[in-house]
Amino acid sequence: MKKKIILFSVFTAMILTGALGIRAAVSQAAKPSPLQVRGTRIVNASGKTITLKGVSTHGIAWYPQYVNKSCFQSFKKMGANTVRLAFYSDDAAGYSKSLYKKVEEGIQAATDLGMYVVIDWHILSDGNPKTNQKKAKEFFTHFSKKYAGKSNILYEICNEPNGNVTWEKDIKPYASQMISLIRKYDKKAIIIVGTPTWSQDVDIVAQNPIKNQKNIMYALHFYAATHKDWIRDKLKKANQSGLPILVTEFSICDASGNGALDTKEAGKWMKLLKKYKIGRIAWNISNKNETSALIKSSCQKTGNIKKGDLSKSGKWIMKNW
């Protein structure tokens, strides 16, 4: 009888610790450690270097169906710890205030999964960040107020400045204003600033970065079949002078988001990013008929995406990033 009781209590204890163990794991996943910029790197609360590996949505006006938990979870299983929500700022590219809700859904989904989220103000055809700055202010006021103090939010304030735009006259003043605006509410979150020439000229920014602000990083974007040694040289130069860089967008096709893949150049990029421990976010979560789409165009699923559902670029990236 005694034996039976002992066996029973051992068994109960096992079940209990098992259940608690699972619970602990879940709640751990739900709370990513707050990030800060230290030197050229991102570290967590205990000072450990964190390399962000992420996937970016396509424009959420065009592909809102992929902004859901099951979809993000699929990429998490394949190694992603970050999701970037691309919110195009130009009216012609689908800007609409009604899409704030989609961004919020995306943040919730990523937060539930314990993932980091980059809220991306996706300027593109509106090459100068000042063009739509009024809307940008409204956007970042809304989100920084709502998510102030959450440990998993990063703000990317201007995707890719381009055209007749300079760091000194346009981007830096824009960034300074937006940083002050965000910091009114969110004192700590990492803010990522776009750089001239579609976020390539990190070397120019490194000569005159933003001063007296914490947790600021600078964007570098590449499409491996177009952007090769000369952009990697910019990255090396900027990194060596101490500029904290995050690759908030890349693919291994050409800069149109389409065309042939260049895995040789992509391999060189990955090697360099790993060496410097620079984070990287892959463009784009959709099944659009273009080679940068991570999901193959014959796949209609918007969640529970498996390796077999990925496009060629998707497969290469998930294997090699």
Least distance from ligand IDC to the Cβ atom of residue 190, Å = 19
Reduce the secondary structure of the chain to three states and give it as a string. CHHHHHHHHHHHHHHHHHHHHHHHHHHHHCCCCCCEEECCEEECCCCCECCCEEEEECCCCCCHHHCCHHHHHHHHHCCCCEEEEEEECCHHHCCCHHHHHHHHHHHHHHHHCCCEEEEEEECCCCCCCCCCHHHHHHHHHHHHHHHCCCCCEEEECCCCCCCCCCHHHHHHHHHHHHHHHHHHHCCCCEEEECCHHHHCCHHHHHCCCCCCCCCEEEEEEEECCCCCHHHHHHHHHHHHCCCCEEEEEEECCCCCCCCCCCHHHHHHHHHHHHHHCCCEEEEEECCCCCCCCCECCCCCCCCCCCHHHECHHHHHHHHHC
Least distance from ligand IDC to the Cβ atom of residue 127, Å = 11
Q: 105 an active-site residue?
A: no
The answer to whether residue 94 forms part of the interface with ligand IDC (CB under 6 A) is no
The answer to whether residue 280 forms part of the interface with ligand IDC (CB under 6 A) is no
Name the active-site residue from 156, 249, 265, 290: 249
The answer to whether residue 302 forms part of the interface with ligand IDC (CB under 6 A) is no
Least distance from ligand IDC to the Cβ atom of residue 134, Å = 21
The answer to whether residue 257 forms part of the interface with ligand IDC (CB under 6 A) is yes
- Site mask, ligand IDC, residues 101-130, x = CB under 6 A? -----------------------x------
Q: 249 an active-site residue?
A: yes
The answer to whether residue 61 forms part of the interface with ligand IDC (CB under 6 A) is no
199 vs 239, beta carbon nearer ligand IDC: 199
95 vs 143, beta carbon nearer ligand IDC: 95
Least distance from ligand IDC to the Cβ atom of residue 290, Å = 5
Contact pick of 131, 152, 159, 200 for ligand IDC (by CB under 6 A): 159
List the catalytic residues: 160, 249
